[in-house]
Structures are given as structure tokens and as C-alpha cells.
């Protein structure tokens, strides 16, 4: 193991996959000058020995995604970057009608193996146009896979799997992750898409989370432990496909569930989790499922109001106390 930031770990994943497979390339706005929105592509072209495989794109998300769909159908494996998840609605036709459906509609003759990296989530004073968490939108579309890593090691392993995958992958990366440090294996490894992990074992309550919420849930679990509550934390890793078996096994063990995400609570992915738990593990529940998320408002620019929209460890602790009462 070595200590790396999320930015360093995912940069390594890109380098390793581009060296392993000459069909992999990266494209984004300002990817050469500043290395993308988070500087996470700086020096990548030189590192792989071919700067023509790291491509600057015009300020047109529609053009970026459309060209990637065409390149994937022609046999390439593009990794494109949207800078912010809020840029995704600009290219919904290309994502939901072309990328998601082409393999099915062509009877498997054409595969759209592409990765769309999307920094998302609340970061200080970025305003409503740059802070949305839109994973539930894309989990609703058959043909797309939706991956949401939670740490440097998870980011590297999941990104490598996403690049090797034969399906289009929307890869949501919370913007605050890029500076996060953590242990990353030195050896070659991948993390399977669609398999959750038990981030912390517990017996009193299951906390179901993904992405940046995993570290917040683990922080909450430590506080709860001091109060005599044993909380199990499940990191979904991917929300489409999602690991129903691991989630339901945890629910049947603890009988109490909190689902938390930073996305708006209304129609968020937590609703899908809660409904499935209610349908398939109702007899195991000791109390109703509690789900928490952002209020139903655009994320404000004001730091004070912005803080009120974050789903924080204190909110998870409060929700756990509700299901235990």
C-alpha cells in the first residue's frame, strides 16, 4: 500500500489503462492547458508517450459525448470528462438515446464502451449550476451503468473496471474527493461493477450510502459507537447495477435502516433503496426506513445556506436515533 490522493490514484488508473490498451483515450475541455477541471489529467499524454491520445475539446458537451459514442462504436474506448455533472443535461439525447440504446438496438453488433467522468456535489460557493448530484437520473436509464467511488483506492479500481467494461458508464466523482488521501494498493487490481462492500460491520442499524457519504457515514458510526450503537455501513459503489443481495442481507441482520445521499431527497436513489427494502425485507424491519438527503431547492451560493443543504455526519446520527427510538 501507498498513500495517494484520489486525483493521483485515478491519474494512475488512466495511465495504466492507456498503456495497457491503445484504444483508450481521454478528451475534455481544457484537458491540456489545466489538466481538466481538477487538474487530474496533467502530464497524462507525456506519461503514456502519446500526447495525441489526450485531446482538448471545444466548449460543447454535446460534441464531446456524440464523438465519443461514434468512436466507441468504431472500436475505441473513450474516457471523456464533463467538468461538472450539471453539464450532463446538455447532452441527454446522446447519452440516453444513443449511448444507452445502441448495443441493444443493433443486436450487440456495436458496443458503446465509453466512460463519462462527472465531478459532482457541493463544493464551497459554486452555486446551483455546478453542484447537483444527478445519479438517480441516469440509474433510471436501461443501458447505462452508474458508478460512484468513495476513496482513492475505490476510485482507481472502479475506474479501471469502467474503462474495460463494454457498456457506457457514468462515473460520478464528488469534487471534494480529489484531495482526499488514502491507502492504494501498489499491485494491479480492479473492483467489480455492481458489487457493494461492507465498509463497517455492525448489528444495530444499517447505513446505506455511496460516494462521499461513505466517509461521513463512517464518521457518524464512530460517534454512535461511543453511545453504544453498532452501525453497519454499506458502500454501494455502483447504483446501476446495484447490489441488492448485500443490502438485503444487512437489513435482515440489523432490522433498521438509514439511507443517506447528498442528492436531493425527493426522487433520489434512496427512494429506490427504500422501496426495494420495503418490498423484499419488510418482515425484517423493526422500524420504517429513514432516508435523508438535500432539501428540494437549487443549491445556494451563500455559504450559510449551502451548509444547510449538505448531508453531514450529524444528520446521519440524528436519523439513526430516529430509527432506534
Annotated active-site residue 129? The verdict is: no
Among 113, 130, 174, 261, the one annotated catalytic:
130
Largest CA distance in the chain: 60
Q: Which of 61, 94, 173, 262 is catalytic?
A: 61
Identify whether the C-beta of residue 194 lies closer than 8 Å to the C-beta of residue 241. Answer: yes
- Give the number of other Cβ atoms within 10 Å of residue 88's Cβ: 22
Whether 138 contacts 240, CB under 8 Å? yes
Please answer whether residues 313 and 285 qualify as being in contact, where contact means their C-beta atoms are separated by less than 8 angstroms: no
Cα 232 from Cα 318, distance rounded (Å): 16
Q: Measure the CA–CA gap between 194 and 273, rounded to whole angstroms.
A: 14
d(CA 173, CA 3): 19
Nearest Cα to Cα of residue 11 among 33, 29, 38: 38
Active site residue 227: no
Active site residues: 61, 130
Amino acid at each position: 500500500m501507498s498513500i495517494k490522493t484520489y486525483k493521483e490514484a485515478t491519474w494512475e488508473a488512466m495511465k495504466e489503462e492507456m498503456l495497457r490498451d491503445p484504444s483508450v483515450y481521454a478528451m475534455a475541455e481544457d484537458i491540456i492547458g489545466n489538466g481538466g477541471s481538477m487538474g487530474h489529467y496533467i502530464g497524462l499524454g507525456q506519461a503514456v508517450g502519446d500526447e495525441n491520445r489526450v485531446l482538448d475539446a471545444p466548449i460543447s458537451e454535446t460534441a464531446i459525448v456524440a464523438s465519443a459514442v461514434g468512436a466507441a462504436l468504431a472500436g475505441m474506448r473513450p474516457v471523456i470528462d464533463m467538468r461538472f455533472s450539471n453539464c450532463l443535461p446538455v447532452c441527454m439525447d446522446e447519452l440516453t438515446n444513443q449511448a444507452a440504446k445502441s448495443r441493444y438496438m443493433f443486436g450487440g453488433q456495436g458496443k458503446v464502451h465509453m466512460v463519462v467522468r462527472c465531478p459532482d456535489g457541493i463544493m464551497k460557493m459554486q452555486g446551483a449550476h455546478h453542484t447537483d448530484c444527478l445519479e438517480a437520473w441516469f440509474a433510471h436509464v436501461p443501458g447505462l451503468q452508474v458508478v460512484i467511488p468513495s476513496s482513492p483506492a475505490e476510485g482507481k479500481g472502479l475506474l479501471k473496471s469502467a474503462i474495460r467494461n463494454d457498456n457506457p458508464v457514468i462515473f460520478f466523482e464528488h469534487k471534494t474527493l480529489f484531495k482526499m488521501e488514502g491507502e492504494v494498493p501498489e499491485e494491479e487490481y480492479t473492483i467489480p461493477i455492481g458489487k457493494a462492500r461492507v465498509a463497517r460491520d455492525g448489528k444495530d442499524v444499517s447505513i446505506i450510502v455511496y460516494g462521499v457519504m461513505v466517509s461521513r457515514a463512517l464518521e457518524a458510526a464512530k460517534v454512535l459507537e461511543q453511545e453504544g450503537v453498532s452501525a453497519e455501513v454499506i458502500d454501494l459503489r455502483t447504483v446501476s447495477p446495484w447490489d441488492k443481495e448485500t443490502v438485503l442481507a444487512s437489513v435482515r441482520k440489523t432490522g433498521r435502516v438509514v439511507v443517506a445521499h447528498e442528492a436531493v431527497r425527493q426522487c433520489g436513489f434512496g427512494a429506490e433503496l427504500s422501496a426495494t427494502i420495503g418490498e423484499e425485507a419488510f418482515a425484517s424491519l423493526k422500524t420504517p426506513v429513514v432516508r435523508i438527503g438535500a432539501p428540494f431547492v437549487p443549491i445556494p451560493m451563500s455559504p450559510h445556506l449551502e451548509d444547510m443543504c449538505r448531508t453531514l455526519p450529524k444528520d446521519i446520527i440524528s436519523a439513526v436515533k430516529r430509527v432506534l427510538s
